[in-house]
Amino acid sequence: MRTALRLALATALSAGAVGAAASAQAAPAAAEPPRYVALGDSYAAAPLVPPVDPADLRCLRSLADYPHIAAEALGAELTDVTCSGATSEHLSTAQHPGTAPQYGALTPDTDLVSVTIGGNDTGLFDEVLGCVNILPRPHGTSCAEENTAGGTDKVRARIDAWAPAFAAVLDEIARRAPRAEVFVVGYGTYFRPDGCHPAQPFWKQDANHLQGAIDHLNAVLRKTAEEDGAVFVDTRTPSIGHDICAAPDDRHIEGLIPTRAAAPLHPNAAGARAVGGALAAAVRAS
């Protein structure tokens, strides 16, 4: 971790030791909390999870999303500009009238950056909606069969084609926030092996195809992050068993019809807490 962020976090986490030493010497000036900027899409913004952030209602951003969870755990000063529906283009351009480009939140004084992006760039979550089959086979069409016809997985090919754009995102973050430590937060476990049709309306081959595509996106995010000197935060592993097929109280990601306050196929409050905890742990360990 870069020196500035390491010192800020170490000071915050060792406040008790500083207090004990204060009886023997004058108390030092209080260290400023690390400055944390959160960038990304709806997986980060946790749309419809209460309470809603009133700063930009069009982004459907929650005040209980994973950046807020991580910031509280780290004692960080958060600027959260995540926005539902964002693509990497919206990091540099306005997503909505009056919504500033997300990169604008970065400054040379930024200590910590998290970014979750790529699901919308690659059309992955539109793909999920296109795979819904209420009825069992043969009454419908398999998206897995359609997307792999001819021997090439079209979804994975789109993800691979997008990878250089994500590398450019990390380069721009480094340019605007040169001393910041960057954490790339991946996507979670949406589908368990073979899914759970008809409880969730995705045939087993389609559930496996979709989770495979999500895993491939995570692999691309990890590889690009590591090549750029950023830290990849795995949310796939801790969300195993908390997918859309889990019992409602055990889900981190809601199903097609949510059972708790959250957008369909997005993290609920428990999911946001789990991701925020994973990010905070990665920051402390880096």
Question: Catalytic site residues?
Answer: 42, 266
Report the alpha-carbon distance of residue 156 to residue 211 in Å, rounded.
Answer: 11
User: H/E/C letters for each residue in 73-132?
Assistant: HHCCEEEECCCCCCCHHHHCCCCCCCCCCHHHHCCCCCCEEEEECCCCCCCHHHHHHCCC
Report the alpha-carbon distance of residue 122 to residue 43 in Å, rounded.
Answer: 14
Report the alpha-carbon distance of residue 95 to residue 101 in Å, rounded.
Answer: 7
Report the alpha-carbon distance of residue 211 to residue 49 in Å, rounded.
Answer: 23
List the Cα angle 193/124/150 in 5-degree steps.
80
Residue tagged 């030092």 (tokens):
28
Q: Helices (H), strands (E): how many in the chain?
A: 9, 5
Distance of CA 131 to the CA centre of its chain: 23
- As beta bridge partners, residue 181 has 112
Report the alpha-carbon distance of residue 181 to residue 280 in Å, rounded.
Answer: 13
> What are residue 87's phi and psi, to 5 degrees?
-115, 175
Report the alpha-carbon distance of residue 100 to residue 56 in Å, rounded.
Answer: 10
Q: How far apart are the first and last CA of the chain?
A: 6
36: helix, coil or strand? strand
